[in-house]
Amino acid sequence: MDLLARREHSRQELRRKLYQRFSDTDVIEQVLEKLIDDQLLSDARFAESYTSMRRKAGFGPVRISAELRERGVSESIIARHVEPNTAQWYRQAALVRAKKFSESTELSTEERAKQSRFLQYRGFTYEHIAQVFNNEET
């Protein structure tokens, strides 16, 4: 319970942490099932919390989706919580870019490529990145 009191965990994360502390696999699986039945453990709640946290940290939908997959969250839950084609991601990409790079009226090809790579590393799609640069030009 101490692990769940600090933050939400995915089932896979909590299982891994319990295996590090305890050796009885049957008991661990029973505990996980009980936590799910009592709604104390939820991959959907974890995905919502994690997505919100990472979005606030300036990461895009591609990166967040990959991180959720690494933590054992199912594709259906990821699709529900990380929709890459929404306007919020375009705004987020623009904010992340503005925070990292100074505004300049004319970007060299090298500078534009550097900024694009940074946004791609942060997990934004090509469409998000293109929209950021297109909005700047208009």
Tens digit of each residue's pLDDT (9 = 90 or more) over 82-103: 987 778 999 999 999 999 987 7
User: What pTM value is reported for the model?
Assistant: 0.86
Mean pLDDT of 54-73: 96
Cα–Cα–Cα angle for 77, 57, 98, rounded to 5 degrees: 125
Cα dihedral sign, 109-115-121-127: negative
Mean pLDDT of 54-69: 96
Whether the predicted pLDDT of 68 surpasses 90: yes
Mean pLDDT of 41-60: 94
Share of the chain above pLDDT 90, in %: 59
CA distance linking residue 86 with residue 44, whole number of Å: 20
Whether the predicted pLDDT of 104 surpasses 70: no
